[in-house]
Protein backbone atom coordinates (compact mmCIF):
# COMPACT_ATOMS: atom_id res chain seq x y z
CA UNK A 1 0.00 0.00 0.00
CA UNK A 2 1.00 3.65 -0.31
CA UNK A 3 1.22 5.60 2.93
CA UNK A 4 1.48 9.35 3.51
CA UNK A 5 3.17 10.76 6.61
CA UNK A 6 3.26 14.24 8.12
CA UNK A 7 6.68 14.95 9.58
CA UNK A 8 7.96 17.77 11.74
CA UNK A 9 11.61 18.47 12.48
CA UNK A 10 14.12 20.89 13.87
CA UNK A 11 16.53 21.32 10.98
CA UNK A 12 19.33 22.87 13.04
CA UNK A 13 21.42 19.71 13.28
CA UNK A 14 20.78 18.36 9.78
CA UNK A 15 22.37 18.90 6.38
CA UNK A 16 18.96 19.63 4.87
CA UNK A 17 16.19 17.29 3.77
CA UNK A 18 17.61 15.42 0.79
CA UNK A 19 19.74 12.32 1.31
CA UNK A 20 23.47 12.82 0.80
CA UNK A 21 26.58 10.64 0.84
CA UNK A 22 27.61 10.28 4.45
CA UNK A 23 24.08 10.84 5.76
CA UNK A 24 23.18 13.60 8.17
CA UNK A 25 19.94 14.63 6.47
CA UNK A 26 16.31 14.42 7.57
CA UNK A 27 15.51 12.00 4.74
CA UNK A 28 18.35 9.72 5.86
CA UNK A 29 17.06 9.73 9.46
CA UNK A 30 13.48 8.98 8.38
CA UNK A 31 14.44 6.19 5.97
CA UNK A 32 16.69 4.58 8.59
CA UNK A 33 13.81 4.64 11.10
CA UNK A 34 11.45 3.16 8.51
CA UNK A 35 13.87 0.36 7.76
CA UNK A 36 14.25 -0.50 11.43
CA UNK A 37 10.48 -0.59 11.89
CA UNK A 38 9.55 -2.34 8.62
CA UNK A 39 12.58 -4.61 8.37
CA UNK A 40 13.23 -3.66 4.73
CA UNK A 41 14.62 -0.51 3.04
CA UNK A 42 11.89 2.02 2.17
CA UNK A 43 12.39 5.20 0.15
CA UNK A 44 10.30 8.28 0.90
CA UNK A 45 9.30 11.09 -1.47
CA UNK A 46 8.71 14.51 0.07
CA UNK A 47 6.45 17.44 -0.78
CA UNK A 48 9.30 19.96 -0.69
CA UNK A 49 13.02 19.75 0.04
CA UNK A 50 14.32 22.03 2.79
CA UNK A 51 17.85 23.39 3.15
CA UNK A 52 20.26 22.93 6.04
CA UNK A 53 18.99 24.72 9.14
CA UNK A 54 15.40 24.99 7.85
CA UNK A 55 12.61 23.45 9.94
CA UNK A 56 9.24 21.86 9.16
CA UNK A 57 5.96 21.59 10.96
CA UNK A 58 4.00 20.11 8.06
CA UNK A 59 6.35 18.25 5.73
CA UNK A 60 4.47 15.48 3.89
CA UNK A 61 6.04 12.34 2.44
CA UNK A 62 4.84 9.13 0.87
CA UNK A 63 6.27 5.64 0.51
CA UNK A 64 5.12 2.17 -0.61
CA UNK A 65 5.20 -0.88 1.64
CA UNK A 66 3.81 -4.41 1.68
CA UNK A 67 3.77 -4.35 5.49
CA UNK A 68 0.20 -4.33 6.82
CA UNK A 69 0.03 -2.36 10.07
CA UNK A 70 -2.54 0.04 11.60
CA UNK A 71 -1.76 3.67 10.93
CA UNK A 72 -1.14 4.44 14.60
CA UNK A 73 1.43 1.62 14.65
CA UNK A 74 3.35 3.30 11.81
CA UNK A 75 3.43 6.56 13.77
CA UNK A 76 4.54 5.01 17.04
CA UNK A 77 6.91 2.56 15.43
CA UNK A 78 8.74 5.07 13.26
CA UNK A 79 8.97 7.59 16.10
CA UNK A 80 10.63 4.94 18.27
CA UNK A 81 13.62 4.89 15.92
CA UNK A 82 13.79 8.57 14.96
CA UNK A 83 16.20 11.04 16.60
CA UNK A 84 14.56 13.49 19.05
CA UNK A 85 14.55 16.36 16.54
CA UNK A 86 12.30 14.49 14.07
CA UNK A 87 8.78 13.17 14.65
CA UNK A 88 5.96 11.70 12.59
CA UNK A 89 2.66 13.46 13.36
CA UNK A 90 0.25 11.21 11.47
CA UNK A 91 0.08 8.37 8.93
CA UNK A 92 -2.63 7.87 6.33
CA UNK A 93 -3.19 5.18 3.70
CA UNK A 94 -3.68 6.78 0.27
CA UNK A 95 -4.42 5.63 -3.27
CA UNK A 96 -1.51 4.53 -5.41
CA UNK A 97 -1.70 7.66 -7.56
CA UNK A 98 -1.10 10.00 -4.61
CA UNK A 99 2.22 11.83 -4.80
CA UNK A 100 3.48 13.97 -1.92
CA UNK A 101 4.92 16.56 -4.30
CA UNK A 102 2.81 16.47 -7.45
CA UNK A 103 -0.60 16.02 -5.78
CA UNK A 104 -0.15 19.23 -3.74
CA UNK A 105 -1.67 22.45 -5.01
CA UNK A 106 0.01 24.86 -2.58
CA UNK A 107 2.65 25.14 0.13
CA UNK A 108 2.88 27.46 3.08
CA UNK A 109 6.10 28.75 4.61
CA UNK A 110 6.49 30.80 7.76
CA UNK A 111 9.50 32.88 8.80
CA UNK A 112 9.93 33.89 12.47
CA UNK A 113 12.07 36.94 13.17
CA UNK A 114 13.06 38.35 16.56
CA UNK A 115 13.22 42.14 16.26
CA UNK A 116 15.06 43.50 19.28
CA UNK A 117 18.45 44.90 20.19
CA UNK A 118 19.97 41.62 21.43
CA UNK A 119 19.85 38.19 19.83
CA UNK A 120 17.89 35.33 21.37
CA UNK A 121 19.64 32.64 23.35
CA UNK A 122 16.52 30.65 24.19
CA UNK A 123 15.40 30.52 20.54
CA UNK A 124 18.85 30.10 18.98
CA UNK A 125 18.49 28.25 15.68
CA UNK A 126 14.70 28.62 15.68
CA UNK A 127 14.30 32.29 14.71
CA UNK A 128 16.01 34.88 12.58
CA UNK A 129 17.14 38.12 14.21
CA UNK A 130 17.32 41.79 13.29
CA UNK A 131 18.54 44.34 15.83
CA UNK A 132 17.13 47.67 14.61
CA UNK A 133 13.44 48.77 14.51
CA UNK A 134 11.43 47.74 11.44
CA UNK A 135 8.50 49.54 9.80
CA UNK A 136 5.77 46.88 9.76
CA UNK A 137 3.36 48.87 7.56
CA UNK A 138 6.02 49.46 4.92
CA UNK A 139 6.85 45.75 4.80
CA UNK A 140 3.16 44.86 4.56
CA UNK A 141 2.76 47.25 1.62
CA UNK A 142 5.77 45.69 -0.06
CA UNK A 143 4.50 42.16 0.50
CA UNK A 144 1.11 43.00 -1.03
CA UNK A 145 2.84 43.41 -4.40
CA UNK A 146 3.80 39.74 -4.37
CA UNK A 147 0.23 38.46 -4.64
CA UNK A 148 -1.01 36.79 -7.79
CA UNK A 149 0.83 35.09 -10.63
CA UNK A 150 4.33 36.55 -10.77
CA UNK A 151 7.75 35.87 -12.22
CA UNK A 152 9.91 35.46 -9.11
CA UNK A 153 13.28 35.38 -10.90
CA UNK A 154 14.55 38.22 -8.67
CA UNK A 155 14.13 35.93 -5.65
CA UNK A 156 15.48 32.74 -7.18
CA UNK A 157 18.78 31.13 -6.18
CA UNK A 158 21.31 30.59 -8.97
CA UNK A 159 21.26 26.81 -8.38
CA UNK A 160 17.44 26.58 -8.57
CA UNK A 161 16.33 23.69 -10.77
CA UNK A 162 12.66 24.70 -11.19
CA UNK A 163 11.47 24.59 -14.79
CA UNK A 164 9.76 28.00 -14.50
CA UNK A 165 10.16 31.04 -12.20
CA UNK A 166 6.45 31.85 -12.53
CA UNK A 167 4.45 30.98 -9.41
CA UNK A 168 1.13 32.11 -7.93
CA UNK A 169 1.34 33.74 -4.50
CA UNK A 170 -1.92 33.25 -2.60
CA UNK A 171 -0.87 34.83 0.69
CA UNK A 172 1.89 37.21 1.79
CA UNK A 173 1.10 38.37 5.32
CA UNK A 174 3.33 39.99 7.94
CA UNK A 175 2.30 40.55 11.54
CA UNK A 176 4.01 41.63 14.75
CA UNK A 177 3.51 39.76 18.02
CA UNK A 178 5.45 41.76 20.58
CA UNK A 179 9.10 41.51 19.64
CA UNK A 180 8.39 38.76 17.10
CA UNK A 181 7.63 39.44 13.42
CA UNK A 182 5.90 36.59 11.56
CA UNK A 183 6.06 36.32 7.76
CA UNK A 184 3.51 33.97 6.17
CA UNK A 185 3.74 33.03 2.50
CA UNK A 186 1.50 30.58 0.65
CA UNK A 187 2.01 29.88 -3.04
CA UNK A 188 1.45 27.25 -5.70
CA UNK A 189 5.14 26.37 -5.30
CA UNK A 190 8.38 28.03 -4.25
CA UNK A 191 11.75 28.47 -5.90
CA UNK A 192 15.02 27.60 -4.19
CA UNK A 193 15.75 30.17 -1.43
CA UNK A 194 12.68 32.16 -2.52
CA UNK A 195 11.26 32.77 0.96
CA UNK A 196 14.60 33.72 2.48
CA UNK A 197 15.25 36.07 -0.44
CA UNK A 198 11.82 37.65 -0.01
CA UNK A 199 12.41 38.17 3.71
CA UNK A 200 15.80 39.76 3.03
CA UNK A 201 14.34 42.27 0.59
CA UNK A 202 11.33 43.04 2.80
CA UNK A 203 13.74 43.80 5.64
CA UNK A 204 15.44 46.36 3.40
CA UNK A 205 12.01 47.99 3.08
CA UNK A 206 11.38 47.72 6.83
CA UNK A 207 14.72 49.39 7.60
CA UNK A 208 13.85 52.30 5.28
CA UNK A 209 16.64 51.50 2.84
CA UNK A 210 14.06 51.05 0.06
CA UNK A 211 10.41 52.09 -0.41
CA UNK A 212 7.66 49.46 -0.56
CA UNK A 213 7.40 49.97 -4.34
CA UNK A 214 10.88 48.50 -4.68
CA UNK A 215 9.44 44.98 -4.30
CA UNK A 216 7.33 45.51 -7.42
CA UNK A 217 10.36 46.92 -9.25
CA UNK A 218 12.35 43.81 -8.40
CA UNK A 219 9.59 41.58 -9.75
CA UNK A 220 9.48 43.56 -12.97
CA UNK A 221 13.27 43.53 -13.41
CA UNK A 222 13.62 39.81 -12.71
CA UNK A 223 17.28 40.24 -11.75
CA UNK A 224 18.48 38.45 -8.61
CA UNK A 225 21.50 40.76 -8.39
CA UNK A 226 19.25 43.74 -7.63
CA UNK A 227 17.52 42.20 -4.61
CA UNK A 228 18.80 41.90 -1.04
CA UNK A 229 21.05 39.03 0.12
CA UNK A 230 19.54 35.72 1.16
CA UNK A 231 18.46 35.90 4.81
CA UNK A 232 19.35 33.36 7.52
CA UNK A 233 17.85 29.85 7.39
CA UNK A 234 17.19 29.57 11.13
CA UNK A 235 13.73 31.18 11.20
CA UNK A 236 12.23 29.36 8.21
CA UNK A 237 9.56 26.66 8.58
CA UNK A 238 7.68 24.58 6.03
CA UNK A 239 4.36 25.13 7.77
CA UNK A 240 1.89 23.18 5.63
CA UNK A 241 1.28 21.47 2.32
CA UNK A 242 -2.16 21.78 0.72
CA UNK A 243 -3.90 18.87 -1.01
CA UNK A 244 -7.36 18.49 -2.60
CA UNK A 245 -9.99 17.07 -0.24
CA UNK A 246 -10.25 13.89 -2.31
CA UNK A 247 -7.15 12.55 -0.56
CA UNK A 248 -8.87 12.80 2.86
CA UNK A 249 -5.66 13.69 4.68
CA UNK A 250 -5.89 14.81 8.32
CA UNK A 251 -6.47 18.51 8.90
CA UNK A 252 -3.29 20.39 9.78
CA UNK A 253 -2.80 22.26 13.03
CA UNK A 254 -0.78 25.28 11.91
CA UNK A 255 -0.33 26.91 15.32
CA UNK A 256 3.16 27.56 16.60
CA UNK A 257 4.60 27.83 20.09
CA UNK A 258 6.04 31.29 19.71
CA UNK A 259 8.70 33.11 21.74
CA UNK A 260 7.17 35.19 24.53
CA UNK A 261 7.31 38.91 23.78
CA UNK A 262 9.33 41.06 26.12
CA UNK A 263 11.52 38.27 27.57
Catalytic residues: 51
Phi, psi of 182 (to 5 degrees): -115, 120
C-alpha to C-alpha distance for 219 and 114, rounded to whole angstroms = 27
Phi, psi of 185 (to 5 degrees): -125, 130
C-alpha to C-alpha distance for 94 and 215, rounded to whole angstroms = 41
C-alpha to C-alpha distance for 28 and 11, rounded to whole angstroms = 13
Q: What angle do CA 128, 132, 136 make, to 5 degrees?
A: 80
Please give the full DSSP string across 166-211, using - where no structure is assigned.
EEEEEEEEEEEETTEEEEEEEES---TTHHHHHHHHHHHHHTTSS-
C-alpha to C-alpha distance for 164 and 151, rounded to whole angstroms = 8
Amino acid sequence: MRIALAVEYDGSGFRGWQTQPGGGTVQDALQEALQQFAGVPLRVVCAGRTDAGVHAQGQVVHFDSALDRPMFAWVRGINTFLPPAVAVRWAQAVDDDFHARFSAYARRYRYLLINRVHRSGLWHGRVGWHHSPLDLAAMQNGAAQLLGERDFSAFRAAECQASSPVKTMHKADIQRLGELIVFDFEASAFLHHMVRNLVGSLLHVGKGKRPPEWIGELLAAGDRRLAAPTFAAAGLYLAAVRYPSRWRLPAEDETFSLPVAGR
